[in-house]
Amino acid sequence: MIEVELVTGRTLEQGATVEEKLTENYFYAVNYIELNEEDFASLKLKDGDRVKVKTKFGEVVVFAKKGDLPKGVAFMPLGPYANIVIDPNTAGTGMPKFKGVRAKIEKTEERVLSIRELLEVI
Amino acid sequence: MLYIKNGIVVDPKNKIKAEKMDIFIKDGKIVEEKDVKKSECKVIDASGKLVVAGGVELHSHIAGSKINTGRVMRPEEMRYVRLVAGKFRACVGRILMNAPAIGYEYAKMGYTTAVEPAVPPIGSPHTHEELDSIPMLDKLALPVFGNWHLVLKFVAEKNIEKLKAFIAWALERTKGFGVKVVNPGGVEAWMYGGNMKSLDDKVPGFGVTPREIILSLVEANEKLKLPHSVHLHCNNLGIPGNYTTTVESIKLASKFSNDKRQVLHITHVQFNAYAGDSWRNVASGAAEIAKAVNSENVTIDMGQAIFGPATAMTGDAPFQFTLHKLLGARWSNKDSEVESGAGIVPIAYLPSNPVHTVQWAIGLELGLLCDSNKVVIATDYPNGGPFTEYAYVIAMLMSKKMRENELKRVHQYAQKATVLPTIETERTLEEVINMTRSLPAKILGLENKGHLGIGADADVAIYDMNPLEVDTSSEFEKVYKVFKTALYTIKGGEIIVKDKELVKEVWGRTFWIDATKKVDPSLIKQDLEDYFKYYTVEIENYGVDEAWMRNPQRIKVV
Amino acid sequence: MNIVCTFCGSVCDDGIYEEGKVKRLCKLGSSKFSIENKQRLKAPLVDGKEVSYEEAIEKAAEILVNAKRPLLYGWASTANEAIRLGVILAEKLGGIYDQCASVCHAPGVLAVIEEGLPGGTLGSIKNRAETIVFWGANPMEAHPRHGVRYSISAKGILVKDRKHRKVIVVDVRKTKTAKVADMFVQINPGSDFAIFTALRSILNGNENAVPSEVGGVKKEQLIELANILKNTKYGAILYGLGVSQSRGRDRNVEAAIKLVQLLNRFTRWVIWPMRGHYNVVGAGEIPAWEAGYQYAIDFSRGYPRFFPNEFSAVEVLKRGDCDAALVVASDPAAHFPAAAVKHLKKIPVIQIDPYINMTSLLAKIIIPSAIYGLEAEGSAYRMDGVVLRLKKVVDSPYWTDEDILELLLKRVEELKR
């Protein structure tokens, strides 16, 4: 288990598939987390492995990838998976804190839920 | 069909001074008695009431990115509730208002036509969308030309034929009505942090001067025979000592002649009429300006400051930055492509502030010292304050006594820095009706507006006052109350205000000038092609088509 | 045939459409116009059953009229004409109008309320900006042609090309945009406010007050950055969600605007947000002139009130403070935090959208609509407030959002009588 600062954001793939939300293309565009190489190694992960992302606000299983990130920072594409774990408090602005939430990451054998399943468990 | 019976008509254009008359309306026009069947007419009994043409607003920032950014920047303005949704739209806004409120408030005041006087050309689709959301009024929009790179280029080349072709092209594309010029050259200089300090400063990158820009645009405008003259916001706006620049600019008109109308309209002159050399010794330059106005073929509008909140918003981006620094207030700026710029800063005019008092006095001085056939009542909404206080301006111009009362409650600096306390003039009813109706219509070249002659648009205001019985000099409180809200407003033959209440929502037209047949478009084809490489939109996507507008009205210039 | 792209806020208007193929547009734009692999309904659905447009709209009108406080949300990916009807509909219903910016750039609006927005159009940036700073923005992925058309390598009349322009990226991660920049300043997450403030201190001559490192950036680099900003003739800070969605939110934007105010005392700088959806600006501009505010507008008292803490969609849903929702051209089920989606699952949701998405999975009524820019004509605001006309290049059996909302508004007005 490691602790990271989780940020979310747009990616080209997420954007290109945003109008086909119930397809496999979109599913794969948004159901992962990018970790710094060292962090990735410390969890003994290899490509295609799953991790559980846990924050104060929820937990979600996604695929793990190596990303060009500083150690201790993780990135998820914006979308339904990230939205389970981001901070829904808006501090009066109406906008949840999509970027910058403490998250615990651990390797898991649980499977990644489909988008339909994800909506059901919310 | 409408029959307005027994009203006391004041119609300066048709030389009618407070005469008891009947007015007949059919198909949105004023017609002769014989053209209507009286039995089929809806009758309005206007016995003992003042009947005049609908007001024509010559200069009011009612639509487009400036006022809309102002609204967003100032939610404290929008919290003022004017009308709860019901038969009519919800209306909010203290000085800045939402679009329905603007239409309704003008209508309630007896106004039926308004000019949005500063359209960033690339922003014209926004301006027209917003104008199309303002009910009740006929509308006109003036795109800004004075800092547009292509204009500067043609001025530098001294190519008036190209300039004419370009103006015609731009008016068609922006669905504009005339040529607005804001701080010529100064806004382009602002892109490098500068400004134009005199008519003979050189615009960076082009080598042309404000003087050359104004003269070239007036020449092209006059050769095109556009209904409206060049509409100029002078250089050095808002700077103590600027009245000399304004006088110089006015004198540029002497090079041109036109027997139908002015050759140059100078706008919101109050902001360009300061003597002195700092805010510490600022004084009125209105008398000098009035002298120049009265001797040249120019017209002006007042830019009257009204005590209370306002929002400064102009295409004069460098001035807005100066104001931001001066007041430490919020500041929005918009550099538009290589065409124009703009800025917005909140302000309030306080009677306890010596400078504001001078500003307030100057507007009135201009309204009193200029020929009544040369000066239009306006506040440069929302720069000088709300348009809803025109009744105050009217009453002040008509009553020395009211001015004396008001002068007592404002900062006494006005006593020494202005000549307002010494002015004896009291405007007559006919004069103020002219200054709010016939004159602005004439300045715009709108032949069917601002009067009640046969064939005029059936835009009529009826006020609860018998002009034959009121002493406007002493009964200023009554004058104020009367002009604040019309008893009836009729727009295009439809009653939209009755007994001072809104009764019907109507949608007016947007007039625009088509001068394309007067020019050879091939003259500028290459220039446009070259130039549009540097635009961020394709030339075919630039501007507004009539089909997108609610009710466009093309006026062809021949 | 010329087309105007309706994907991101860049609204590129130089697309070419030929026999079902698009040219010139980026990956995002191309995906927008490749509709063959997108799931679309054949007809409106009410409770999963196919019905006519009129029937679906009738049912929707009933739900909305019977609701005490409906939420009307979305609007960033539809045309101005539809947005205007949406605002009027919210007013008639006494409901809440909120739009996608509320989970995107709306904190920037709060900053504008505090400080204003010293900005410019994309054309002023393209033609004049010698230095461009992308701060918490990654246009190479979010606005792929922004760089070519308006900023990084755009060919301007005064700044000729990439060689004459300096590009700086400030971000927490080395994004694709950072990789093409001349200077990359990597900052710690959530430290934007501190860094804007440090830059202001340096520019104000209070360099001594700045510690040796701020938000993961060495003081030397901050001084270098401040000098570049100060010595540029005309520069632009284009900020993204990295600024408005992270710790500090609106206060970050406010600090950035204050930096630009200060820079204008030395030279010329503008600042502008990198807006996401193609018409998210319109979703704010139109309610601003119709109702006075850009988002989070409540009409329950018969007049508009603005208060993001209470009337933004996320807050309303988290509190369970709406009893029906009309979602137009948006997918809150996919883009709202789970805590908000929970309530959306409980109330009747009416969706108007060209595509099936996550919100469709919980919607009671789904009304498919035509795609603006391809199947429907209308106007939209580019990210800088420039309005462009969206083209219709193919026929479709779908009603436009404008058609649907026009009938919906008419029926609501009739039922309310």
pLDDT value of residue C31: 87
Assign residue C302 the CATH number of its domain.
3.40.50.740
pLDDT value of residue A97: 87
Instruction: Tell me if B325 and C265 make a contact (CB, 8 A cut-off).
Output: yes
Contacts of C339 in chain A (CB under 8 A): 57, 88
Whether C386 is covered by a domain: the verdict is no
Q: Hey, of B65, B330, B335, which one would you mutate to test binding to chain C, going by the most C CBs within 10 A of its CB? A: B335
Centre a 10 Å sphere on the Cβ of residue C190 and count the other Cβ atoms it contains: 18
* pLDDT tens figures, B316-368: 999 999 999 999 999 999 999 999 999 999 999 999 999 999 999 999 999 99
Q: What is the C-alpha separation between C132 and B102, in angstroms, rounded?
A: 39
Whether B229 is covered by a domain: the verdict is no
Chains in contact with A, where contact requires at least 3 CB pairs less than 8 Å apart: C
C235 and C251: one domain? yes
- As a whole number, mean pLDDT of residues B56-70 equals 97
Instruction: Kindly provide the b/e burial profile for residues B383-397, where b requires at least 16 CB atoms within 10 angstroms of the residue's own CB.
Output: bbbbbbbbbbbbbbb
The DSSP code sequence of C154-168 is ---SSS-SGGG-EEE
Which residues lie below 8 Å from residue B208, measured CB to CB, with a gap of 6+? B152, B155, B156, B185, B202
C83 and C111: one domain? no
The band of A18, judged by pLDDT with boundaries at 50, 70 and 90, is confident
C152 and C246: one domain? yes
The verdict on C30 touching B (C-beta cutoff 8 Å) is no
Q: Which of B97, B335, B545 faces C124 most closely, judged by CB atoms?
A: B335
Assign residue B6 the CATH number of its domain.
2.30.40.10
Q: Which amino acid is at C170?
A: V
Q: How many CA atoms lie within 13 A of C156 on its CB side?
A: 25
Q: Which domain holds residue A39?
A: 2-121
C residues 271..290 contacting B (CB < 8 A): 284-286, 288-290
DSSP label at residue B203 = P
The answer to whether C and A touch (≥3 CB pairs < 8 Å) is yes
Which of C242, C273, C304 is a domain's end point? C273
What percent of chain B is modeled with pLDDT above 90? 100
Strand residue runs (E) in B66-203: 81-83, 91-92, 111-119, 138-143, 180-182
Chains in contact with B, where contact requires at least 3 CB pairs less than 8 Å apart: C
In degrees and rounded to multiples of 5, residue B201 shows phi and psi of -65, 155
Centre a 10 Å sphere on the Cβ of residue C402 and count the other Cβ atoms it contains: 23
Three-class secondary structure of residue B15 per DSSP: coil
Q: How many CA atoms lie within 13 A of C23 on its CB side?
A: 6
Whether residue B284 contacts residue B251, with contact meaning beta carbons closer than 8 Å, is answered with no
Instruction: Tell me if C388 and B333 make a contact (CB, 8 A cut-off).
Output: no
Q: Which domain holds residue C67?
A: 40-104+278-371+394-416
The verdict on A114 touching C (C-beta cutoff 8 Å) is no
C213 and C71: one domain? no
* pLDDT tens figures, A35-62: 999 999 999 999 889 999 999 999 999 9
Contacts of C390 in chain B (CB under 8 A): none
pLDDT value of residue B457: 98
Instruction: Tell me if A57 and C337 make a contact (CB, 8 A cut-off).
Output: yes
C residues 307..326 contacting A (CB < 8 A): 308-309, 311-315, 318
Q: What is the C-alpha separation between B113 and B496, in angstroms, rounded?
A: 14
* pLDDT tens figures, B438-468: 999 999 999 999 999 999 999 999 999 999 9
C147 and C54: one domain? no
> Pairing between strand C349-353 and C365-368?
parallel
pLDDT value of residue C318: 96
In degrees and rounded to multiples of 5, residue B168 shows phi and psi of -60, -45
Instruction: Kindly provide the b/e burial profile for residues B125-163, where b requires at least 16 CB atoms within 10 angstroms of the residue's own CB.
Output: bbbbbbbbbbbbbbbbbbbbbbbbbbbbbbbbeebbebb
| CA distances to B193, C122, C236 from C267, in Å | 6, 19, 11
Whether B268 is covered by a domain: the verdict is no
Three-class secondary structure of residue C232 per DSSP: coil
| CA distances to B131, B229, B323, B543 from B128, in Å | 5, 21, 28, 10
C residues 324..353 contacting B (CB < 8 A): none
Low-confidence winner among A113-122, B167-176, C325-334, C375-384 (lowest mean pLDDT): A113-122
The verdict on C345 touching A (C-beta cutoff 8 Å) is yes
Q: How many CA atoms lie within 13 A of B184 on its CB side?
A: 34
The verdict on C109 touching B (C-beta cutoff 8 Å) is yes
Q: Is the pLDDT score of A15 beyond 90? A: no
Count chain A–chain C contacts defined by CB atoms under 8 A: 173
Strand partners, A26: none
Which of C254, C273, C292 is a domain's end point? C273
Q: What is the side-by-side order of every strand in the sheet holding C365-368?
A: C49-50, C45-46, C365-368, C349-353, C324-328, C70-74, C96-99, C297-298, C305-306
User: Closest by alpha carbon to B311, among B36, B67, B15?
Assistant: B67
Contacts of C186 in chain A (CB under 8 A): 70
For residue B505 the two structure tokens come to: 């929502």
C342 and C250: one domain? no
Q: Which amino acid is at B352?
A: S
Assign residue A63 the CATH number of its domain.
2.40.40.20
Q: What is the ipTM of this complex?
A: 0.96
Instruction: Kindly provide the b/e burial profile for residues C316-335, where b requires at least 16 CB atoms within 10 angstroms of the residue's own CB.
Output: bbbeebbbbbbbbbbbbbbb
Instruction: Tell me if C293 and B81 make a contact (CB, 8 A cut-off).
Output: no
Q: What is the C-alpha separation between C106 and A92, in angstroms, rounded?
A: 11
Domain count, chain C: 2
Whether residue C27 contacts residue C144, with contact meaning beta carbons closer than 8 Å, is answered with yes
For residue C160 the two structure tokens come to: 């000729």
DSSP label at residue B437 = I
Q: Hey, of C386, C402, C413, which one would you mutate to test binding to chain B, going by the most B CBs within 10 A of its CB? A: C386
Helix (H), strand (E) counts: chain C: 18, 22
Q: Which domain holds residue B16?
A: 2-53+452-502
Instruction: Tell me if C117 and B73 make a contact (CB, 8 A cut-off).
Output: yes
| CA distances to B25, C174, C214, C258 from C218, in Å | 77, 17, 7, 22
C80 and C204: one domain? no
pLDDT value of residue B218: 98
Q: What is the C-alpha separation between B61 and B57, in angstroms, rounded?
A: 10
> Minimal Cα–Cα distance from C91 to chain A, Å?
20
C residues 252..281 contacting A (CB < 8 A): 276
C164 and C227: one domain? yes
pLDDT value of residue A16: 81
pLDDT value of residue B557: 96
* pLDDT tens figures, A71-103: 999 999 989 999 999 999 998 888 898 888 999
For residue A81 the two structure tokens come to: 């998976």
The verdict on C111 touching B (C-beta cutoff 8 Å) is no
Whether C134 is covered by a domain: the verdict is yes
Q: What pTM was estimated for this model as a whole?
A: 0.96
The answer to whether C and B touch (≥3 CB pairs < 8 Å) is yes
Of all residues in chain C, the one with the smallest CA distance to A15 is: C28
Q: Hey, of B65, B69, B71, B72, which one would you mutate to test binding to chain C, going by the most C CBs within 10 A of its CB? A: B72
Whether B488 is covered by a domain: the verdict is yes
Q: Is the pLDDT score of A122 beyond 90? A: no
Q: Is C34 exposed, middle or buried (0-12, 13-18, 19+ CB in 10 A)?
A: middle
* pLDDT tens figures, B30-55: 999 999 998 999 999 999 999 999 99
> Minimal Cα–Cα distance from A35 to chain C, Å?
11
The band of B394, judged by pLDDT with boundaries at 50, 70 and 90, is very high
C222 and C114: one domain? yes
> Pairing between strand B501-502 and B510-514?
unpaired
Q: Which of C121, C286, C389 faces B336 most closely, judged by CB atoms?
A: C121
Q: Which of A84, A97, A115 faces C358 most closely, judged by CB atoms?
A: A115
User: Closest by alpha carbon to B147, among B48, B214, B225, B50?
Assistant: B214
Domain count, chain A: 1
Domain count, chain B: 1
Contacts of B330 in chain C (CB under 8 A): 113-116
Helix (H), strand (E) counts: chain B: 19, 26
Start-to-end CA distance of chain C, whole Å, equals: 46
Whether B14 is covered by a domain: the verdict is yes
Centre a 10 Å sphere on the Cβ of residue A109 and count the other Cβ atoms it contains: 8
Chains in contact with C, where contact requires at least 3 CB pairs less than 8 Å apart: A, B
The band of B112, judged by pLDDT with boundaries at 50, 70 and 90, is very high
> Pairing between strand C365-368 and C118-120?
unpaired
Of all residues in chain C, the one with the smallest CA distance to B82 is: C303
B residues 202..221 contacting C (CB < 8 A): 205
> Minimal Cα–Cα distance from C14 to chain B, Å?
7
Count chain B–chain C contacts defined by CB atoms under 8 A: 185
> Minimal Cα–Cα distance from B133 to chain C, Å?
8
Instruction: Tell me if C268 and B149 make a contact (CB, 8 A cut-off).
Output: no
The verdict on B478 touching C (C-beta cutoff 8 Å) is no
Centre a 10 Å sphere on the Cβ of residue C222 and count the other Cβ atoms it contains: 23
Which residues lie below 8 Å from residue B292, measured CB to CB, with a gap of 6+? B246, B247, B250, B251, B298
Which of C235, C250, C273 is a domain's end point? C273
Whether B282 is covered by a domain: the verdict is no
C171 and C257: one domain? yes
The verdict on A9 touching C (C-beta cutoff 8 Å) is yes
The band of A13, judged by pLDDT with boundaries at 50, 70 and 90, is confident
C230 and C129: one domain? yes
The verdict on C178 touching A (C-beta cutoff 8 Å) is no
B residues 327..346 contacting C (CB < 8 A): 330-339, 341, 344-345
pLDDT value of residue B520: 95
Instruction: Tell me if C333 and A80 make a contact (CB, 8 A cut-off).
Output: yes
For each of chain C's 417 residues, which pLDDT tens digit applies? Answer: 999 999 999 999 999 999 888 999 999 999 888 888 788 999 999 999 999 999 999 999 999 999 999 999 999 999 999 999 999 999 999 999 999 999 989 989 999 999 999 999 999 999 999 999 999 999 999 999 999 999 999 999 999 999 999 999 999 989 999 999 999 999 998 999 999 999 999 999 999 999 999 999 999 999 999 999 999 999 999 999 999 888 899 999 999 999 999 999 999 999 999 999 999 999 999 999 999 999 999 999 999 999 999 999 999 999 999 999 999 999 999 999 999 999 999 999 999 999 999 999 999 999 999 999 999 999 999 999 999 999 999 999 999 999 999 999 999 999 998
pLDDT value of residue C67: 97
C234 and C220: one domain? yes
Q: How many CA atoms lie within 13 A of C68 on its CB side?
A: 5
Contacts of B530 in chain C (CB under 8 A): none
Instruction: Tell me if B72 and C293 make a contact (CB, 8 A cut-off).
Output: yes
pLDDT value of residue A19: 80
Whether C12 is covered by a domain: the verdict is no
